Amino acid sequence: NPALTKIGAQMSNLTGVRAIMKDIVETLKANAGQELINLSAGNPLILPAVERLWRDCTADLLASSEYGEVVCRYGSSQGYAPLIEAIANDFNRRYGLKLSDRNILITPGSQTLYFYAANAFGGYTTTGELKQIVLPLSPDYTGYGGICLVPEALIAYKPALDIDESAHRFKYRPDFSQLSISETTGCVIFSRPCNPTGNVLTDEEVRKIAALAAPYDVPVLIDSAYAPPFPALNFTDMSLIFEENIIHCTSLSKAGLPGERIGIAIGNERTIQVLESFQTNASLHSSRYGQAIAARAINSGALAEIAEQVIRPFYQNKFSVLENTLDASMPKDLPWFLHRGEGAIFAWLWLKDLPITDWEFYQELKKVGVIVVPGSTFFPGLKEEWPHKQQCLRISLTGSDEELVTGMRRLAKVAEQAYQGA
Ligand code: PLP
């Protein structure tokens, strides 16, 4: 093996959920032929109406004179002009904004966008000061764990817990008594709706975070991979918040186009310019085929319509199936709490005072043919010890209804045994 630099060694380590995926893939291989209920996936399902939409847009592109221009040519780093125009028009009309093309950047997936932002704003300045990447509410997206070339820059804050004991439900809130955003902050990032918890920070909480960051001119990146207008995977009302220091970040991955790698940043011109230059250096630009079909789906209004009428109800129904099954099968006297299902494609279960770790619980569940993701992988940047980190599980809503019902019934039995110390 060639000698690796510090960054090389760091970037060749798998972080968070990617590390667990290896174990899951091996488990699936070792049990081939056996019926395993895999509720670990972050990959959205292929919904027929969504697939049809992208197929139709592709047919339209193929039949147009634009095709050669799209796939046979390099383009600008900022993105394919017709897509940028489609997004500006759509957001201006929907949200009463005055976006111009200079407020928008297209990236190869939104993961890349967070990588650019984390390293443009977080890390050491030319004068040696450490600028932090602040995650205001932990747990949050596991992918934030690997985006920073200076790992010590990533810092996450423990949340406050809103617990409804009798209903066995809870919700995370940002703990504003602890959250610190100051001149040492480089940028702020959070997902809304949140992967893994399904939490949606309230409009007021978002405004408060943006207001804390504004005096220091700190960009606040709102990861809207599950937000409206597409994929519209919010099950509770939420407004999109646009402020001078907010970079609204979205993705077409959960709207049926994960393979085409399309991330979208919307924000002030200065910040977009920084991210665009970073992109020119790192990757030139995103693939143009995906951008050309996305422009069609946004201009016709079909993407937003399918998001609201097909994608959202599909996953909202999955959450109901899961929640009803847990209510019916989890013992009432155990301290289990399901996070309020406010959006995204996951359920988040907290087993308070669990006598075994989340990793051990995951192993026990595997023995009865059910795979979920142990929760401790979703606390990137949270440095302090906190038993809660080892008491949670992420359950993907991408299973069939039957799989969710059977999986949750088995999980209830495993939980009962774990608390009994069996
Ligand atoms: N942000 C969140 C909250 C996600 O769940 C994901 C993917 O699962 C991403 C970002 C990355 O998505 P992509 O790079 O495909 O846009």
The residue extents of the domains of the chain are 6-46+307-420, 50-304
Looking at every residue in the chain, the average pLDDT score rounds to: 96
CB of 147 closer than 8 Å to CB of 118? yes
Confidence of residue 422 (pLDDT cuts 50, 70, 90): low
Write out pLDDT tens, residues 307-351. 999 999 999 999 999 999 999 999 999 999 999 999 999 999 999
50-304 folds as Aspartate Aminotransferase; domain 2 (3.40.640)
365 phi/psi in degrees, rounded to 5? -65, -40
Q: Which residue has the tokens 């590390």?
A: 19
- Give mean pLDDT, residues 32-51: 88
Write out pLDDT tens, residues 95-121. 999 999 999 999 999 999 999 999 999
Residue 7 has pLDDT above 80, yes or no: yes
Which residue among 15, 21, 137, 195 is best mutated to probe the pocket of ligand 1, counting the most ligand atoms within 8 A of its Cβ?
Answer: 195
Q: Look at ligand 1, atom 9, and give the residue with the nearest C-alpha.
A: 111
Number of Cβ atoms within 10 Å of the Cβ of 305: 16
Residue 32 has pLDDT above 90, yes or no: no
Write out pLDDT tens, residues 313-323. 999 999 999 99
d(CA 222, CA 298): 21
Which residue among 107, 115, 250, 251 is best mutated to probe the pocket of ligand 1, counting the most ligand atoms within 8 A of its Cβ?
Answer: 251
Strand ranges of the sheet holding 160-164, from the earlier edge strand across to the other edge: 160-164, 169-173, 336-339, 346-351, 392-396, 373-374
Number of Cβ atoms within 10 Å of the Cβ of 102: 15
Write out pLDDT tens, residues 228-249. 999 999 999 999 999 999 999 9
- Give mean pLDDT, residues 54-78: 96
6-46+307-420 folds as Aspartate Aminotransferase, domain 1 (3.90.1150)
The CA 225 to ligand 1 mean position distance, Å, reads 6
Residues with beta carbon inside 6 Å of ligand 1?
A: 42, 109-111, 141, 143, 191, 195, 223, 225, 251, 253, 258, 263
Nearest ligand 1 atom, CA 262: 16
The CA 148 to ligand 1 mean position distance, Å, reads 16
CB of 256 closer than 8 Å to CB of 38? no
The CA 33 to ligand 1 mean position distance, Å, reads 31
What pLDDT is recorded for position 13? 82
CB of 276 closer than 8 Å to CB of 103? no
CB of 375 closer than 8 Å to CB of 387? no
What pLDDT is recorded for position 101? 97
The CA 199 to ligand 1 mean position distance, Å, reads 15
